[in-house]
Amino acid sequence: MTKLRIAIGSDHGGYEMKQNLIKFLKENNYECNDVGNYNGEAVDYPLIAQKLAKEVTLGKFDRGILLCGSGLGMAIAANKIKNIKAVTCHDTYSAKMSRAHNNANVLTLGARVIGIELAKDVVKIWLESEFEGGRHQRRVDLIE
Binding segment for ligand RB5 (CB under 6 A), chosen from 24-32, 70-78, 83-91, 120-128, is: 70-78
**CA 31/CA 133 separation, integer angstroms:** 26
Least separation in angstroms between CB 78 and ligand RB5: 11
Measured at CB, which residue is nearest to ligand RB5? 73
Query: Catalytic pick from 22, 43, 53, 68?
Result: 68
Is 107 within 8 Å of 87 (Cβ atoms)?
Answer: yes
Residue with smaller CB distance to ligand RB5, 68 or 123: 68
Geometric angle at alpha carbon 58, from 55 and 60, rounded to 5°:
60
| Side chain identity at residue 36, one-letter code | G
Binding status of residue 109 toward ligand RB5 by CB under 6 A: no
Instruction: Indicate if 32 belongs to the active site.
Output: no
Cβ within 8 Å of residue 123, ≥6 positions away: 21, 24, 25, 65, 95, 107, 109
Binding status of residue 13 toward ligand RB5 by CB under 6 A: yes
Binding status of residue 73 toward ligand RB5 by CB under 6 A: yes
Binding status of residue 68 toward ligand RB5 by CB under 6 A: yes
Residue with smaller CB distance to ligand RB5, 76 or 140: 76
Is 71 within 8 Å of 45 (Cβ atoms)?
Answer: no
Binding site for ligand RB5 (CB under 6 A): 11, 13, 45, 68-70, 72-73
Active-site residue list? 68
